[in-house]
Amino acid sequence: ILNVEQSPQSLHVQEGDSTNFTCSFPSSNFYALHWYRWETAKSPEALFVMTLNGDEKKKGRISATLNTKEGYSYLYIKGSQPEDSATYLCASNFGNEKLTFGTGTRLTIIP
Amino acid sequence: DGGITQSPKYLFRKEGQNVTLSCEQNLNHDAMYWYRQDPGQGLRLIYYSQIVNDFQKGDIAEGYSVSREKKESFPLTVTSAQKNPTAFYLCASSSRQGADSPLHFGNGTRLTVT
């Protein structure tokens, strides 16, 4: 089974500060990398799907980068707001097979 | 609004009983998935289906069964053979079964078996 690892496991950030966290995955036979945001009592919501090495995607204050050669992706949040508090999941494919999820990074924004 | 509906939100069963979790989508998506979440672990794939009347085992299919008789519906049965059925179950769909197709999730069902 493909191993997708996320770090840190949890993070507390002061409102207004920027932050980032990491998703690591085996680089061989990479196909796609997904980021999801999962707020408490809601369903996970897709943020980004990236497939190309060097890809960068942005959605408002959130952006992500992808390095398929070394097997990692960063998620950045600029100027954190309380509504950013959530668990952020990444997932990757082995070949074109089913997604394997990491355990998530739980982000708490401190007002 | 289009989306995925899982019911019920909470489910309690006695050990030894089969139980079926409902998942319905009106997104016209071809692919549907069932995941299980346990504390400290990532979402693990139980079963998935790419088209009606076809489904494949995921990583932890033992003790579970599914059907896909309609495009909109993908119910999951947790059988008495599942050794640790207490968990949070998420259903998802995607417009096609491809690595670059984002998943749309339901709100989940929390199953407790005593």
Stronger pLDDT, A106 or B80, i.e. the higher one: A106
A25–chain B nearest CA distance, Å: 14
pLDDT, position B56: 93
- C-alpha dihedral (A91, B82, B20, A37), degrees to nearest 10: -20
pLDDT in tens, A37-67: 999 999 999 999 999 999 999 999 999 999 9
Chain A residues touching residue B33 (CB < 8 angstroms): 98
Kindly indicate the confidence band of residue B97, based on its pLDDT and cuts at 50, 70 and 90: low
Residue to mutate among A2, A92, A101, A105, with most B CBs inside 10 A, is A101
What average pLDDT does this structure show over B45-70? Answer: 95
Kindly indicate the confidence band of residue B1, based on its pLDDT and cuts at 50, 70 and 90: low
Chain A residues touching residue B107 (CB < 8 angstroms): 41-43
Closest residue to A49, CB basis, from B41, B100, B105: B100
Stronger pLDDT, B41 or A83, i.e. the higher one: A83
Partner-chain contact A89 B43, CB within 8 Å:
yes
Picking from A90, A99, A110, the residue whose alpha carbon sits closest to that of residue A7 is A90
| Cα A5 to Cα A19: distance, rounded to the nearest angstrom | 18
Chain A residues touching residue B99 (CB < 8 angstroms): 31-32, 51, 93, 95-97, 99
Closest residue to A49, CB basis, from B35, B59, B102: B102
Mean pLDDT for chain B overall: 93
Picking from B86, B40, B30, the residue whose alpha carbon sits closest to that of residue B63 is B86
Picking from B97, B83, B88, the residue whose alpha carbon sits closest to that of residue B49 is B97
